[in-house]
């Protein structure tokens, strides 16, 4: 059947498919009792979860869809706040203190329990931190913990005595972290599941803490979150139900959450339209303007903590000149791009760090300035684009990336009079090319794990693992280092501001837009607030039948 | 007949070995690996993952080890579903695909064969043109167009069925229909072709001359021979149907094997690719063998040799 998927045909078909849900939303036959209404009465939250997560082990999972499930199943010292991503919500820790933001002590609740009834103590956290850092586990999440003193050395095998790592249990219900430096936003950092506890007897029974493909999450998931695993059928559903042993079980209002791994956005749209979902994670791009313009009651478009950008390979001779890089950035009309192509309430990006981080106002690029761009290009030795080599723009195959790339090409051609080729590759091939620096200009995107500029700015540290631009700037590195050693939150952010200024001035990357999350949610779901990093605390959600 | 079957099974071994070898080396040629991600994996972590999943050994060692694991049915761990092996995936998803495939096959035969027989016996009348034009449309319309249209009509407008999922019996209707209609179209055309040839042959004329009713002449005498092209088509079609269709499974969110078949390649999950390819190949060979046996039973001109 695959041979029917020729390019032209699939495009035509997609157009047809894309229109279908719209037609369906026009139809009056909506009043019959739906699956969703029944689920609402039963307290079951039907949640569209993009695709099948490779794992729901909080220490091994790196996928967003896996994280959405672990947020229900395990709880860290600090939990996700229901409304504000900047605020710490007490989780297993009931209170905490710190010295110079470097040594942090957390007081654990004595009534915290595992989903099998076992008490949860500081030793469980110690075991879990150790597990993530064990070199033999090979967890991709280990680096989140590198801010603990000596954690990186332990994870890289440079030291083998775990007691040298800056974490210790002070009795059963207190745990102390010694960090590599001051981290005033530490409580926000440890909301990430890599910091969450796992149940040691369960892990040990399934092959020990260093087994990378341990199947404990499949057979016998013991967690400490507001929910516990009920059923997991690959590609069908991950169902979680209330955990009676959860310390705050009274607050939990929903009985079950069914995470449905629907990876096709058109299917997800149809499933939502047929009344079988409370939450639709993604809306097919062609449908977004239609829903928004027609006042669809379910759709929401909210800023998201992420940036879509182009990376420039500064090892390419033509791109080694910062005037060229700057000119490429200046000739992009981001407003027009967002308005005409994306149409989903994204924000044109004039900074690399997204907006909305508390206390941080990022510096801004000049924006669209064709004259300045032409001037810089001429100064660099390419008057009216003359003599500029033919570069290519690499992106992973997707209709949206392609449309953006085509428009950017058009802008470069009309402002700078240069020709750039489009090159699209399948995802893994694309990653390989980008990682080997086998590109001129490459699409990229970055989503913040927590709302702090360092998660974005640390990308471009000289020689950093994800810095595929080849750009290295000692000035930039030193500002970031100063920031990391600064305990005063305001001064810290001021150094980050300086660093970002350097980044924008040098332009090894061209920010295009700040992401938005476009999704649809049924009015029966109460307690769902816009959150910049889209992390949820399901215990505060409620399902209430709509009053007729 | 037993020797015939045993001989064919024996022939399957080198074929499977060849398929294994080609697949093994082909997937290694594809750029990108199972561990690459948007956020890059640190060097020492990658090293550990490569070590654990056996990528650090020489390729020929990996080739031998994976082969042995498949022979012993002790399958290697997967990288795209942590904690599972291909055996778990296949045993969970194959029954779903099998059920979907059998429903689809039933629909295809139930609609296709009578349509073809009627068309052939009333050649060049409206009873011929109507089903054949419909069949042509069915062949031309890909499942990813038919599927969403059916879902829209029956799932959203009429609300008779669900639009996706695989929980209740009602959920089976649309995917089976989408897949079945496509094959029904083929089967109708094949049946018509086969029947036309047989209906003009001497033994059918003899039957009619001896006073057999039209029904008897067509269904009892001619159909046995006329359906042979359909039977040979059924082998690969059945194997294709029961191993699932990526497109239909994706549109209708069916947890079948077809999706794994494609997603394994997308995720570069080498173990899952190998296991599903071998499973699919074995099924095709088994289905072909069944078809050959059936053909000999139906066609007196053929003998086992």
pLDDT of residue B214: 80
CB A210 within 8 A of CB A142: no
Average pLDDT over residues A46-75: 94
Q: Which residues of A161-183 are buried (b: 16+ CB within 10 A; e: fewer)?
A: eeeebbbebeeebbbbbebbebb
Q: How confident is the model at residue A21 (pLDDT cuts 50, 70, 90)?
A: very low
User: Is B83's CB within 8 Å of A218's CB?
Assistant: yes
pLDDT of residue B305: 56
pLDDT tens digits along B216-269: 888 878 888 888 888 888 877 887 787 768 889 989 999 999 889 889 999 999
pLDDT tens digits along A205-232: 999 999 999 999 997 899 999 999 999 9
Task: Of A26, A71, A27, A82, give the one whose Cα is nearest residue A47.
Answer: A71
pLDDT of residue A234: 92
Q: Which residues of A227-264 are buried (b: 16+ CB within 10 A; e: fewer)?
A: bbbeebbbbbbbbbbbbebbbeeeebbbebbbbbbbbb
Residue A103: phi and psi, rounded to 5, are -110, 120
A303-516: CATH homologous superfamily?
A: Dipeptide-binding Protein; Domain 3 (3.10.105.10)
Chain B, window 258-287: residues with a beta carbon less than 8 angstroms from a chain A beta carbon: 259-260, 266-268
The dotted CATH code for A7-25+34-52+231-301+518-543 is 3.40.190.10
Distance from CA of B172 to the nearest CA of A (A): 14
User: Is B148's CB within 8 Å of A17's CB?
Assistant: yes
Distance CA A445, CA A440 (A): 16
Q: Is A24 on the interface with B (CB under 8 A)?
A: yes
Half-sphere exposure of A447 (CA within 13 A, CB side): 14
Interface size, chain A vs chain B, as Cβ–Cβ contacts under 8 Å: 181
Q: Is A138 on the interface with B (CB under 8 A)?
A: yes
Task: Of A279, A310, A218, A347, give the one whose Cα is nearest residue A45.
Answer: A279
Q: Candidates 3.90.1150.10, 3.90.76.10, 1.10.1740.10, 3.40.50.620; correct CATH number of A64-221?
A: 3.90.76.10
| DSSP code per residue over B249-275 | HHHTT---HHHHHHHHHHTT-HHHHHH
pLDDT of residue A547: 66
Distance CA A427, CA B34 (A): 12
The contacts of residue A548 (CB under 8 Å, 6+ apart) are none
Q: Is A335 on the interface with B (CB under 8 A)?
A: no
Domains A7-25+34-52+231-301+518-543 and A303-516 share a fold: no
**Which tokens hold the place of B285?**
């060979």
User: Is B163's CB within 8 Å of A276's CB?
Assistant: yes
Distance CA B130, CA B136 (A): 10
Mean pLDDT across chain A, nearest whole number? 91
The rounded radius of gyration (Å) of the Cα atoms in chain A is 25
Task: Of A64, A76, A86, A84, give the one whose Cα is nearest residue A519.
Answer: A64
CB A315 within 8 A of CB A439: no
Distance CA A314, CA A325 (A): 9
Distance CA B280, CA A444 (A): 37
User: Is A55's CB within 8 Å of B82's CB?
Assistant: yes
| DSSP code per residue over B40-58 | PPPHHHHHHHHHHTT-SS-
Tokens 């920031």, located at residue: A483
Q: Is B150 on the interface with A (CB under 8 A)?
A: no
Distance CA B252, CA B244 (A): 12
Q: What are the residues facing A113 on neighbouring strands?
A: A119
**Domain residue spans of chain A:** 7-25+34-52+231-301+518-543, 64-221, 303-516
Q: What are the residues facing A89 on neighbouring strands?
A: A79
pLDDT tens digits along A451-472: 899 999 999 999 888 899 999 9
With a cut of 50, which residues of chain B have pLDDT below it? none
Chain A, window 198-217: residues with a beta carbon less than 8 angstroms from a chain B beta carbon: 212-217
* A62 contacts on B by Cβ (under 8 Å): 37, 39
pLDDT of residue B297: 82
pLDDT of residue A25: 44
CB A392 within 8 A of CB A440: yes
Mapped onto helix, strand or coil, the DSSP state of residue B82 is: coil
pLDDT of residue A7: 44
């Amino acid at each position: 059947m695959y041979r029917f998927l020729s390019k032209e045909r699939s495009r035509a078909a997609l157009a047809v498919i894309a229109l279908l849900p719209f037609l369906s939303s026009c139809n009056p036959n909506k009043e019959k009792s739906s699956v969703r209404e029944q689920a609402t009465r039963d307290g079951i939250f039907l949640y569209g979860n993009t695709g099948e997560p490779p794992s729901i082990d909080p220490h091994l999972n790196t996928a967003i869809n896996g994280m959405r499930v672990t947020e229900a199943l395990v709880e860290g010292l600090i939990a996700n706040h229901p409304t504000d991503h900047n605020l710490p919500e007490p989780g297993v820790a009931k209170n905490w203190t710190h010295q110079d933001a470097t040594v942090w002590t957390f007081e654990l609740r004595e009534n915290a329990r595992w989903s099998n009834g076992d008490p949860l103590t500081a030793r469980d956290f110690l075991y879990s931190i150790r597990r993530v850092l064990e070199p033999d586990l090979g967890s991709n999440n280990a680096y989140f913990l590198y801010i603990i003193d000596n954690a990186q050395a332990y994870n890289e095998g440079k030291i083998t005595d775990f007691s040298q790592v800056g974490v210790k249990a002070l009795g059963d219900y207190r745990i102390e972290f010694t960090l590599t430096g001051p981290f005033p936003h530490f409580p926000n950092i440890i909301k990430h599941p890599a910091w969450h506890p796992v149940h040691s007897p369960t892990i040990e029974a399934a092959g020990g803490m260093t087994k990378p493909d341990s199947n404990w999450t499949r057979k016998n998931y013991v967690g400490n979150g507001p929910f516990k695993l009920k059923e997991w059928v690959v590609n069908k559903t991950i169902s979680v139900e209330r955990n009676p042993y959860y310390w705050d079980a009274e607050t939990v209002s929903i009985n079950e959450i069914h995470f449905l791994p629907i990876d096709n956005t058109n299917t997800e749209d149809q499933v939502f339209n047929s009344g079988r979902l409370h939450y639709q994670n993604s809306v097919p791009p062609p449908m977004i303007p239609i829903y928004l313009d027609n006042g669809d009651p379910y759709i929401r478009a909210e800023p998201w903590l992420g940036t879509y950008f182009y990376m420039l390979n500064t090892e390419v001779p033509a791109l080694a000149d910062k005037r060229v890089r700057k000119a490429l950035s200046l000739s992009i009309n981001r407003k027009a791009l967002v308005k005409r192509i994306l149409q989903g309430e994204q924000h044109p990006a004039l900074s690399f760090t997204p907006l909305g981080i508390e206390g941080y106002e990022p510096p801004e690029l000049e924006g669209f300035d064709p004259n300045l761009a032409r001037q810089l290009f001429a100064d660099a030795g390419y008057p009216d684009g003359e003599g500029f080599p033919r570069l290519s723009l690499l992106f992973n195959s997707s209709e949206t990336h392609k449309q953006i790339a085509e428009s950017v090409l058009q802008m470069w051609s009309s402002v700078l009079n240069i020709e750039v080729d489009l090159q699209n590759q399948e995802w893994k091939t694309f990653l390989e090319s980008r990682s080997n620096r086998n590109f001129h200009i490459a699409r990229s995107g970055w989503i913040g794990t927590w709302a702090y500029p360092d998660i974005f700015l640390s990308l471009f540290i000289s020689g950093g693992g994800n810095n595929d631009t080849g750009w290295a700037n000692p000035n930039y590195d030193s500002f970031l280092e100063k920031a990391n050693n600064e305990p005063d939150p305001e001064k810290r952010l001021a150094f980050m501001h300086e660093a970002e200024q350097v980044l924008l001035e040098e332009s090894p990357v061209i920010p295009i837009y700040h992401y938005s999350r476009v999704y649809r949610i049924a009015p029966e779901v109460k307690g769902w607030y816009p959150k910049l990093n889209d992390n949820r605390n399901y215990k505060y959600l409620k399902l209430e039948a709509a009053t007729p | 007949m037993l020797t015939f079957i045993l001989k064919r099974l024996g022939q399957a071994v080198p074929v499977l070995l060849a398929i294994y070898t080609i697949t093994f080396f082909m997937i290694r040629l594809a750029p990108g690996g199972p561990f690459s991600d948007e956020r890059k994996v640190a060097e020492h972590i990658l090293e550990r993952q490569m070590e654990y999943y056996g990528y650090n050994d020489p390729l020929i060692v990996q080739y031998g080890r994976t082969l042995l694991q498949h022979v012993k049915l002790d399958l290697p761990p997967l990288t795209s579903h942590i904690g599972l092996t291909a055996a778990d995936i296949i045993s969970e998803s194959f029954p779903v695909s099998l059920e979907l495939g059998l429903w689809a096959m039933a629909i295809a035969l139930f609609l296709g064969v009578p349509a073809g027989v009627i068309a052939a016996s009333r050649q060049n009348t409206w009873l011929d043109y109507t089903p054949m034009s419909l069949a042509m449309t069915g062949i031309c319309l890909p499942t990813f167009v038919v599927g969403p249209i059916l879902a829209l009509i029956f799932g959203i407008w009429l609300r008779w069925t669900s639009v996706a999922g695989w929980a209740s019996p009602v959920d089976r209707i649309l995917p089976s229909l989408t897949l079945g209609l496509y094959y029904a179209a083929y089967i109708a055309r094949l049946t018509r072709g086969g029947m036309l040839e047989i209906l003009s042959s001497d033994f059918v004329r003899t039957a009619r001359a001896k006073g057999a009713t039209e029904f008897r002449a067509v269904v009892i005498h001619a159909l046995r021979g006329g359906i042979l092209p359909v039977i040979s088509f059924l082998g690969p079609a059945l194997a294709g149907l029961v191993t699932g269709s990526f497109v239909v499974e994706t549109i209708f969110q069916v947890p079948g094997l077809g999706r794994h078949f494609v997603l394994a390649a997308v995720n570069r999950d080498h173990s899952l690719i190998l296991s599903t390819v071998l499973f699919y190949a074995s099924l095709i060979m088994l289905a072909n063998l069944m078809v050959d046996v059936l053909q000999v039973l139906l066609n007196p001109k053929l003998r086992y040799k």
